[in-house]
Structure 1
Amino acid sequence: MRLSSALIIASTFVAAALVAIVAANFSVKLIEETSEIGVRDALDDAGATWAEVQADGLTVTLSGIAPTEAERFAALTTAGTVVDAARVIDGMEAKAVAAIRPPRFSAEILRNDAGISIIGLIPGSTDRDTITDRFAAMAGESTPVADLIETADYPAPEGWEVALDFALVAMEQLPRAKVSVSAGRVAITAITDSAKDKLALEKSLRAATPPGLRLSLDIAAPRPVITPFTLRFLIDEDGARFDACSADTEKARTRILNAAVAAGMTTTGRCTVGMGVPSPNWAQAVEQSIAALAKIGGGSVTFSDADVTLLANEGTDQGTFDTVVGELENELPEVFALYAKLPETQAPDQGPPEFVATLSPEGQVQLRGRLSNENLRNIADSYAKSRFGSDRVYTAARVVEGLPSDWSTRVLAGLESLSNLSNGAVTVTPDKLTVSGNTGDADASTRIATLLAAKLGEAEEFEINVTYQEKLDPQAALPTPEECLAQIKAITDSSKINFEPSSATIDASTLSTMDEIAEVLKTCGDLPLEIQGHTDSQGREEMNLSLSQARAQSVLNELRARRVRTATFEAKGYGEERPIQDNDTEEGREANRRIEFWLIKPQASAPAPQTTLESLAESGDNSADEGAEENDASDEPDGSGDATE
């Protein structure tokens, strides 16, 4: 009986234990399923469908490949909102991120009288020692070179080495400049001594620019230093005019030109604003002197710094001359000294001795008249040959006695003046030196007046009758960019450029057209030009784009082969995106297969000097003053001149 009771009690405990175990297992399963389902639903709602969820007891393991570290962390956070974060086990991985992009390599080079400094980040492959050695050679032993370059161990981007090499070469020509270098681009900010030096420097740099390199130039030319500060105004039978005019400010220039107009000048006056004025009252003194000359009735007034020379015309009334000169002497500001002269009237049969040098339009020079001694004749002959060429000078001057003591100075000053002309003559007499002729230099009169004032002295009389002719000016004679494109259009209208079928090779039958275009471009100077390639819509778009680029480049290469300076040219293909006629007809497709020449014009909104293309949409037509276009399709009727599938 006792054994039976004990057995029952033991069985009861065993049964209870089994029930508890079953209940615990059921509870665990329920918790696992609830946790796994809840976390999975939350991740799906958050867009993390890539995550796998597995519950094991009270823990929840997340696995899978997260697109990024941020999304992996977001998945952990989402799971922590469903179950206790301590129960979440992170078994996820993130995709390998792309290699870190290389930094932007650039360098700033500054050169002035204090030395050379370079700062920036360059690739580790660039030879840093070579750069610093070249700058040290430019600077010299006494000028420091500040090396603030940092390097990064990344490959050099395309166009970096070309840009850096060009910057080093350019810096040798730039004693005062800042050069910014980046891959494929160089920006130069510099200052020159004169507008002429600025033009020469810009031409030199553009001519040396490698193909494909974008060059931005910002070169300033300060006001020229004029020494002596010169002005010469005269009134004669040809009217009132300036031979030379200088002013220290824009306001002073306006005052001087207004005074000349009041004295009878009817032509457009030209007055150079420069530095070196001897007095802040320069404009006042010039106004008063021009007004005095007008009262006398004619002659010339010359300023050489603060020395003023007024020469009246022969035959001027003595009383009028004395009165006007006296008033002017009292009115002139301090510093200015006046010398006035009224020439004596000579008898008609008493002509003075003279020396004459003539320069023909062909460049031939003749020296005739009188020279004071044999030594002067040899010097004049040698000087003329050095200026004009040994085979272009013919000397027929004779030696006579009794000439003025300053005759040699006047003769040599006259020859130097003649060298500023394209053609003309110089006449030297004891009382006067006359220079007349034509020139293609707008500043020639000013340069001659300054020269004669310095060589002869402020009290000597000279006359300058020099005419500026634009056709003689090598710069002004250049056609405008629009005129160049009009000439190209005229050529392509009469003879098309064709390519071999489905090829970028120019057909041999149209190479003569390239010859004509090259001859035009050689006369156009540095023309910013984009050579565009266009196709019709037949074939795949990417193939048409590639073919149009290759054809535009072929045209550029042909121009280079003909020794056209193409540093400012670009070749660009537009494929089929810019049709000018309907591609549904053969005639339209043939018209769309073409090469176009367009000017590259500055983009005003860019923060730094850039270039952009004036598009067809902006122009609204195909007029010759904006672009020249030509059909470059093959003559084959099946349209094989473009890329086809």
Structure 2
Amino acid sequence: MRLSALFVRLGMFLLAAIVCAFAARIAVAAVETRSVEAVRLELEERGHSFASVLGDGLQVILEGQAPSEAMGFRAISTAGSVVDASRVIDNMTVMNSATLQAPEFSMEILRNDSGISIIGLIPTSSDRGDLTESLERIAGEDSNFADLLETADYDVPEGWDSSVEFALLALRQLPRSKISVRAARVSVEAISDSPEQKAELEASLRRSIPDGLLTNISISAPRPVVSPFVTRFIIDDSGASFDSCVADTPAAERRIVTAATAAGVEGRIGCSVALGAPTTRWADAVTMSMTALEELGGGTVTISDADVTLVAKPGTVEGNFDRIAGQLENNLPEVFALEAILPAAPTAGDEGPPQFIATLSPEGLVQLRGRVSDDLLNLTAENFARAKFGSADISMATRVVDGLPNSWSIRVLAAIEALSKLSNGSVVVEPNNIVIRGNTGAQDAGGEITRLLIDKLGQTEEFEVSVTYVEELDPIASLPTEEECLAGIIAVTEARKITFDPSSANIAGAGAAILDDIAEILQRCPDKRIEIAGYTDSQGSEGGNQRLSQQRADAVLDGLRVRRVPVANFRAVGYGEANPIADNETAEGREANRRIEFTLITPESTEEPTALEQIEQEAAEAAAAEQEDATE
């Protein structure tokens, strides 16, 4: 009995042990599952999804490939914050740093009247503090500055610093701009106040481009605001012409030009497209008025804002004048008001009106002669001319007479101011007319003079503006093209050759005079991109010839620099004995091959390929590689 009881107790003990072991296993499995799931969720939340989580009893094993040692350590630390750190086993590998691709660093800088904002990704090691301090200075104390930059811990790419430096330089000059910065590439979009300012800014920026920096500079000039908004059309014995022509849209300009051609205007016709029209029906009013003037057979019509002044030529039949003027008045858009004037026919025996005449010579000499009403006007006219022409070279040949019209002083000063808008010419003032003739380098000078006289004298006053645009006088249009600049340099270097001392980069004595002539040409080509190429003959080692050719090209570049040629867009390249133009076996051929050549640099595109273009390019490259393998 006792033995039987003993076996019973032993069996119960074994059964309890088995149950405990099974329960413990279940508990461990539950702990393992919860631990693995908790660690996995925390890793994903912290951005460490590269690590996979396995459980082995109470241990938590991390596997996978960490992007860096630092990221692997952060994953281990994250797991240790969920479970006891002693339970975390690190089985991760670290990605080879050589395979890591640095991101493309870039910035977008926006500047307008409210301030500056910057967004993008820059290297951590770049001087962010200096950058933001510079931007805050440019923005000014009363403007906003928004810094939305992010950083990444990679090396500063080559060309990044020069891109940032150029971007800041451009930003200082462009109060309304968007500048995109990448390593060795900068894109500038901006708005200027006028076409003249646009040309100046583009030339200034291109002169400042560092070597090796690719740029895309796009500056637009908004339509000017013209006030008063004036078109003045004339038909006289010499034909039909405009003193001033403005339109509110390109479509309106085309309509006005078509009407002018039908009325007899010959040659190139163009109107300034500007802001400031009193109504969208501006072209209707202008074309109706021009048609009415043509029907009258001559005279002038001035449309100034919403006022239309129709002046027939003397001798027009009164009944015909009344009919045409009445039709025009009834047909004009509602906002316009018509004043129709029929001058009296001239009488026989008229001795001619008194005159005041001002002339401006091409050399800048100003002469005032004719009649003035009093000594005060005489002195005022002289001082006004000195102020307007900025010159003490004023010749006075006026005399004071009585009986001049009350408006004579205003007419004389307005005439002097009108003359100041020309490069050379003359203005004749009479009691009932003012005639301005001359040459100018500004395409809208005639319109500007017309608006000036209407503003000073009123739109009922008679005046004639006969101004010729001369491209050579235009400081923008007269600039030579790239091809013209290069042709001038080639003409100089074909007639004479830049020579050097034997086996050196010292320019020989005659070469200095050639550089003087080239520098004179390049002074008028400030924003052109030119390569100075150096070549040698085949004597000597290939490496030595390459170095000598580079030194000689650098010497020419330095020679132009000391002659105050803006060479920021130039590059000097030595090509050694490459590209011979003559036989190196003869002394004459070797002499011809030792040369300096000037060529234009074709700008490379800075536009990024689209995703489709990139895929097509990669496919083409892969097909070419397969074809090459098959050939081999």
- TM-score for both structures, normalised by structure 1: 0.74
Q: 2:462 is matched by which residue type in structure 1?
A: E
Determine if the alignment matches structure 1 residue 346 to structure 2 residue 346: yes
Query: What corresponds to 2:309 in structure 1?
Result: 309
Q: Is the 8 A contact 2:210 2:569 kept in 1?
A: no
How far apart, CA to CA, are the structure 1 residues paired with 2:343 and 2:545? Answer: 82
Letter of the structure 1 residue corresponding to residue 517 of structure 2: E
Change (3 A) 1:95 1:211: closer
Single out whichever of 128-137 and 174-183 deviates more from structure 2: 128-137
Distance 2:274 2:465 in 1: 22
The structural deviation recorded for 1:369 is 2.6
Confirm or deny: 8 A CA contact 1:241 1:267 kept in the other structure: no
Alpha-carbon distance between aligned partners in 2 of 1:95 and 1:114, rounded to the nearest angstrom: 46
Cα separation, partners in 2 of 1:590 and 1:166, compared to 1, 3 Å: same
SS in 1 for 2:279: coil
Aligned to 1:411: 412
| Cα shift at 1:479 | 3.2
The structure-2 alpha-carbon separation of the partners of 1:156 and 1:374, relative to structure 1 and needing over 3 Å to count, comes to farther
2:226 alignment counterpart: 226
Equivalenced residues, count = 517
Alpha-carbon distance in 2 for matches of 1:220, 1:206: 16
Please state whether the residue corresponding to 2:369 is helix, strand or coil. strand
Amino acid paired to 1:220? S
Structure 1 residues 392, 461: closer, same or farther in 2, change over 3 A?
same
Taking a change above 3 Å as real, the CA distance of residues 102 and 509 of structure 1, as seen in their structure-2 partners, is: farther
1:449: Cα distance to partner? 1.2
Counterpart of 1:370 in structure 2 is: 371
Provide closer, same or farther for how the CA distance between residues 325 and 94 of structure 1 changes in structure 2, counting only shifts above 3 A: closer
Corresponding residue for residue 388 of structure 1: 389
Name the structure 1 match of 2:455.
454
> How far apart in 1 are the matches of 2:300 and 2:552?
64
Aligned equivalents of 1:463, 1:161: Cα separation in 2: 58
In 2: Cα distance, 1:513 partner to 1:408 partner: 56
1:476 maps to which residue?
477
Q: Kindly provide the amino acid, as one letter, of the partner of residue 599 in structure 2.
A: W
For the 8 Å contact 1:535–1:575, the answer to whether it is kept is: yes
Distance in 2 between the 1:448 and 1:273 partners? Answer: 17
The CA deviation at 1:569 is: 1.7
- Kindly indicate whether the alpha-carbon contact (under 8 Å) linking 2:215 and 2:606 is maintained by their aligned counterparts in 1: no
What is the match of residue 443 of structure 2? 442
The question of whether the paired residues in 2 share the 8 Å contact of 1:189 and 1:218 is answered with yes
Output aligned runs, 1:487-566, within 5 Å: 487-537=488-538, 541-566=542-567
Q: 1:97 to 1:468 in 2, by over 3 A?
A: closer
Q: Report the residue type matching 1:319 in the other structure.
A: G
CA distance in structure 2 between the aligned counterparts of 1:232 and 1:601, rounded to whole angstroms: 45
1:478 touches 1:525 (CA, 8 Å); kept in 2?
no
> What is the alpha-carbon distance in structure 2 between the residues aligned to residue 249 and residue 466 of structure 1?
24
Shift in alpha-carbon separation, 1:596–1:315, aligned structure 2, 3 A: same
Q: 1:484 to 1:435 in 2, by over 3 A?
A: same
Aligned-partner SS, 1:498: coil
Name whichever structure is richer in helix by fraction. 2
Aligned partner of 2:556: which letter? Answer: V
Contact kept, 8 Å, 1:241 with 1:269, in 2: the verdict is no
Distance in 1 separating the partners of 2:259 and 2:163: 53
SS at match of 2:340: strand
| Root-mean-square deviation (Å) | 2.9
Residue by residue, what CA displacement relative to the aligned partner does 1:202-254 show, whole Å, maximum 9, x if unpaired?
12222344455444311111222222211111111221111211112222111
Residues 546/152 of structure 1: CA separation in 2 closer, same or farther (3 Å cut): farther
d(CA) in 2 for partners of 1:584, 1:120: 59
Using the alignment, how far apart are the partners of 2:391 and 2:549 within structure 1? Answer: 55
- Structure 2 CA distance for partners of 1:503 and 1:187, relative to 1, 3 Å: farther
Could you give the per-residue CA deviations for residues 272-324 of structure 1, whole angstroms, max 9, x where no partner exists? 11222211111121111111111111111111111111222222222222221
Matches of 1:163 and 1:581 in 2, distance apart? 42
- The answer (yes or no) to whether the contact 2:121–2:149 under 8 Å persists in 1 is yes
Instruction: Tell me the SS of whatever aligns to 1:180.
Output: strand
Conserved? CA contact 2:228–2:304, under 8 Å: yes
- Residue number in structure 1 paired with 2:43: none
* CA distance, structure 2, for counterparts of residue 245 and residue 533 of structure 1: 53
Deviations 1:29-73 (A, max 9, x none): xxxxxxxxxxxxxxxxxxxxxxxxxxxxxxxxxxxxxxxx9xxxx
Question: 2:185 touches 2:606 (CA, 8 Å); kept in 1?
Answer: no
Match of 1:613 in 2: none
Rounded to whole Å, the distance in 2 between the matches of 1:498 and 1:466 is 50
User: Relative to structure 1, is the Cα distance of residues 516 and 606 closer, same or farther in structure 2, using a 3 angstrom cutoff?
Assistant: same
1:293 aligns with 2:308: no
Identity %: 55
- Work out the CA distance in 2 between the residues paired with 1:96 and 1:274: 62
Partner of 2:356: 355
User: In the alignment, which residue of structure 2 is the partner of 1:265?
Assistant: 265
* 1:120 shift after superposition: 3.1
Deviation (angstroms), 1:443:
1.6
107 and 463 in structure 1: CA distance in 2 versus 1, 3 angstrom threshold: same
CA distance 1:141–1:476, change in 2 (3 Å)? closer
How many Å separate the matches in 2 of 1:437 and 1:336? 33
1:147-195 residue CA offsets vs partner (Å, 9 max, x unmatched): 1234456665554434323322321211100122344443211111221
User: For residues 6-17 of structure 1, what are the structure 2 equivalents within 5 Å?
Assistant: none
Q: Which residue identity lines up with residue 437 of structure 1 in the other structure?
A: G
Given that residues 526 and 568 in structure 1 are in contact (C-alpha distance below 8 angstroms), is that contact kept between their aligned partners in structure 2?
A: yes
In structure 2, what is the Cα distance between the partners aligned to 1:308 and 1:100? 73
3-state SS, counterpart of residue 255 of structure 2? helix
Letter in 1 for 2:404: L
Using the alignment, how far apart are the partners of 1:212 and 1:392 within structure 2? 48
Give the SS at the match of 1:515.
helix
Tell me if the contact between 1:312 and 1:342 (Cα under 8 Å) persists in the aligned partners: yes
Pairing of 1:113-262 with structure 2 (within 5 A) = 113-124=113-124, 126-152=126-152, 156-262=156-262
Alignment of 1:494-643 (within 5 A): 494-537=495-538, 541-581=542-582, 587-602=588-603, 606-607=607-608
Q: Is contact 1:436–1:465 with CA below 8 Å preserved after alignment?
A: yes
Aligned partner of 2:285: which letter?
A
Structure 1 Cα separation of the partners of residues 391 and 551 of structure 2: 52
CA contact (8 A) 1:518 1:562 kept: yes
Cα 1:153–1:542 change in 2 (3 A) is farther
Change in CA separation of 1:535 and 1:108 when aligned onto 2, cut-off 3 Å: farther
CA distance in 1, matches of 2:207, 2:266: 42
Which moves more between the two structures, 393-402 or 433-442? Answer: 393-402
Q: Note closer, same or farther for the CA distance 1:112–1:407 as it changes in structure 2 (3 Å cut).
A: same
In the TM superposition, residue 363 of structure 1 has moved relative to its aligned partner by 1.1
Question: 1:421 is paired with a residue of what secondary structure?
Answer: coil
Does residue 271 of structure 2 align to residue 284 of structure 1? no
Contact 1:532 1:597 in 2 (8 A): yes
Asked whether the 8 Å contact 2:216–2:606 carries over to 1, the reply is: no
Task: Name the counterpart of 2:487.
Answer: 486
Equivalent residue letter for 1:241: S
Q: Distance in 1 between matches of 2:258 and 2:95?
A: 79
User: Which residue identity does 2:486 align to in structure 1?
Assistant: L
Query: 1:336-382 deviations in whole A, cap 9, x for unaligned?
Result: 11112122233343422332221122211122233334333332222
* Structure 1, gaps ≥5 residues long: 1-68, 70-92, 609-645
Aligned to 1:172, the other structure's residue is in SS state helix
Contact 1:106 1:182 (C-alpha < 8 Å) held by counterparts: yes
For 2:604 and 2:210, the matched residues in 1 are separated by 22
Q: What amino acid maps onto 1:411 in structure 2?
A: V
Find the aligned partners of 1:328 and 1:476 in 2 and give their Cα distance.
40
| Change over 3 Å in CA distance of 1:543–1:291 after alignment to 2 | same
- Aligned residue for 1:601, secondary structure, equals coil
TM-superposed deviation, 1:196: 1.6
Q: Residue 270 of structure 2 aligns to which amino acid in structure 1?
A: R
Q: Report the secondary structure of 2:120's partner residue.
A: strand
